[in-house]
Structure formats: C-alpha cells, structure tokens
C-alpha cells in the first residue's frame, strides 16, 4: 500500500500515528531562567490535541550561553527537565509523540526577542559572551555581542552538554531527541566554510568541519535509549551560490555519516548562515527538493519543510515518496488543529481519533 499523510510511521520502537510533525518554532516565552511555563504546555499541548503525530519543542538550549535570547527554553539542569515534564506528559496523553530539539545558538546568541528588535545584547544589558568556530560575529548593523573562537575544551564541553541534555530530556518523558545543526546556529557554523575558518581538526576539509556534528550525534545517540529515535535537523544549503559554502551535495554526504552515527531521520531545512542568502523561488514546497534529494541519496527517512500549508499538499509529499514526514510550522500557528482539519478534507476521518471532548463538533 502507498503511504499517505495518515499512515503511521515507525522509527525504532516508536510509532507516530500519522506523518504530520509540528516544526520546532521558538516562542521566546520563558523568563530569564529558561524554564518552561504554562505557555509551552498550552502551545504544544494544543497541537497534540489537534492531531499531529509528532510535536517538537522549540530550540532548547543545552547551556545558558546557547540561548538565542534570554527568553529561550533551556534543558541545562534538572530544574529545566522538571519544568518540561508536564509538557511531555500532556503531549503524550493526547496521542502524539513528544519530541525535543536540542540546540546551541553559537554566534547568533545573546540578542533580544524578535518583537523587541532581535538586537544584540551586551553583557551590561543582560547578554553574554558568545562562542563560535571562529571569532566572526553575525553581521549585525549594530554592535554585536563579544564573541570568542572555541577551544578544543569548549568543543568537548558542548558535546558533553548535548549528551547531558539528552539524558535530562529522557527523564522529562520525551520520546524523540533532535540535534539542531541548521539555521546558522553553532553546529551549522562548524559545517559551513562561511563561518568556519579553523585550521585544526574541526576546520578546513569536509571531514573536519563535520566532526562536531558527528560527535554530538554519537553522544546523543549513546545517551538515548536504543528503542527511541534520534533526529538531526540540517540546513541543506546556505543559499549562497556565489561563495564557497555548504551545499546540497555536502548534505547528502553528511546524511550518510549521520546514518552511521545512529540518526533515524534527517529534518531538512535550509539557510540561516548569513543575511546575504538568496532564497530561490520561495513559495509552496520551496524546500522540499532538498529533502527529496537527501532521501534519494541515503537510506534515511526525511522530514520536509517550507511552505506546507494545505492538507492535499502535505499528503502528496508522502504519497509521492518525496518525504516521510510533512513538517508543518507556520500553518500550525494559524491552525493548531491542522491535522484534524486535514483528515476531514482528505476523507480520512475514520483514521483520526478526535478528542472525546470535541466529538460533538465532528
């Protein structure tokens, strides 16, 4: 039988009830301590009630300096795990797989929230020193926060922080851990020659630039149970065709290495490394060809993102073998019940369990 949007997806011993995943989307709604709040429980829980198969948290910092803003979610202590546990429990109770994205913002850290201008924060303004592969700050119009090139000890510490965050995430009740190596954040900064100018074993040739991503994936996989899946989100291209940069061909090659490291799915996005990026033909499915290319070139399942807004469109991605998951972001902000509405539109009501509290409306 041909898989479709409402086919289940089994990865290791976990089974998603359908092929819709809520994309990780930063909410910038913590206090300055990185602890989850009622906002996160309601935001993520309502998408689980809405029928999605996998509900992913926003980028969740593995250490304090890995936050994008002071209001980012964190998982660097047991207190953070305890705050997230009710979120994971509620998502699971609604039939979705609770998933967490583990992240470090690198040189894109220490700035205000988008609705406060995304402006760089200095230490005397509540900001902090940022770290990156090389001491090249994000090209802000204003004064960027202090930045330092990472030492080998820093790199080892970040790898350990991802592993510790995975262990805490497991204790909190999450079923899937995703390594964030996309969108110009720390791990992507190592991958791309745009931001990695190192001359040691973490810079230069492809094998060196990808080393930390392999090490983090290995460490998370070792910390995560064998029966639960690990995802990795990547930017398939830097969208900088006129510069030496990260390409789709690089991503296919990396995906093969990630499979060897124990990754179970590649969550394929694009861009974010530099503001000069040029997005070709943004519109419906505009990033799907990258996921399709990686799926064809490796043995790994993939998730596709980018302008997925319509039920038939999401269904076609799976039916046509272009992706294994439809990763839906902004449409889930507009419609928390996207999956339930998609089932009605696609004639699949008999394959969706509406919450009993809502069945009078079906």
- Whole-angstrom CA distances from 175 to 132, 172, 306 are 30, 9, 24
Residues with a catalytic annotation lie at 185
C-alpha 97/C-alpha 227 separation (Å) is: 14
C-alpha 88/C-alpha 111 separation (Å) is: 28
9: closest CA among 354, 333, 326?
326
Residue with tokens 């976990």: 14
C-alpha 303/C-alpha 306 separation (Å) is: 10
Residue with tokens 């990026």: 277
C-alpha 4/C-alpha 322 separation (Å) is: 11
C-alpha 35/C-alpha 72 separation (Å) is: 8
CB 165 within 8 A of CB 83: no
Q: Is 80 exposed, middle or buried (0-12, 13-18, 19+ CB in 10 A)?
A: buried
CB 60 within 8 A of CB 100: yes
CB 73 within 8 A of CB 64: no
């Amino acid at each position: 039988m041909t898989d479709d949007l409402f086919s289940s997806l089994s990865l290791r011993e976990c089974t998603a009830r359908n092929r819709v995943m809520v994309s990780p989307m930063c909410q910038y709604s913590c206090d300055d301590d990185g602890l989850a709040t009622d906002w996160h429980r309601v935001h993520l829980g309502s998408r689980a009630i809405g029928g999605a198969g996998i509900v992913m948290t926003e980028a969740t910092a593995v250490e304090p300096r890995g936050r994008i803003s002071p209001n980012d979610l964190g998982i660097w202590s047991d207190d953070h795990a305890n705050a997230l546990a009710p979120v994971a429990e509620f998502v699971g109770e609604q039939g979705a797989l609770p998933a967490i994205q583990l992240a470090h913002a690198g040189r894109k850290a220490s700035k205000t929230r988008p609705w406060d201008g995304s402006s760089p924060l200095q230490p005397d303004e509540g900001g902090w020193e940022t770290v990156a592969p090389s001491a090249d700050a994000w090209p802000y119009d204003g004064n960027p926060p202090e930045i330092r090139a990472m030492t080998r000890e820093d790199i080892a510490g970040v790898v350990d922080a991802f592993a510790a965050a995975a262990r805490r995430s497991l204790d909190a009740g999450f079923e899937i851990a995703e390594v964030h190596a996309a969108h110009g954040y720390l791990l992507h900064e190592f991958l791309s020659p745009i931001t990695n100018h190192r001359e040691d074993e973490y810079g230069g040739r492809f094998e060196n630039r990808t080393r930390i991503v392999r090490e983090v994936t290995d460490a998370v996989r070792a910390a995560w149970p064998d029966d639960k899946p690990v995802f990795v989100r990547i930017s398939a291209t830097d969208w900088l065709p006129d510069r030496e940069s990260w390409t789709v061909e690089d991503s296919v090659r990396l995906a093969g290495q990630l499979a060897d490291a124990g990754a179970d799915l590649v969550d394929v996005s694009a861009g974010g490394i530099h503001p000069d990026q040029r997005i070709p033909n943004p519109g419906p499915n505009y990033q799907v060809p990258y996921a399709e290319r990686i799926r064809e070139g490796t043995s790994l399942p993939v998730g596709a993102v980018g302008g997925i807004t319509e039920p038939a469109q999401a269904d076609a991605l799976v039916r046509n073998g272009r992706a294994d998951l439809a990763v839906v972001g902004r449409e889930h902000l507009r419609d928390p019940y996207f999956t339930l509405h998609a089932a009605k539109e696609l004639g699949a009501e008999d394959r969706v369990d509406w919450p009993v509290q809502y069945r009078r409306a079906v």
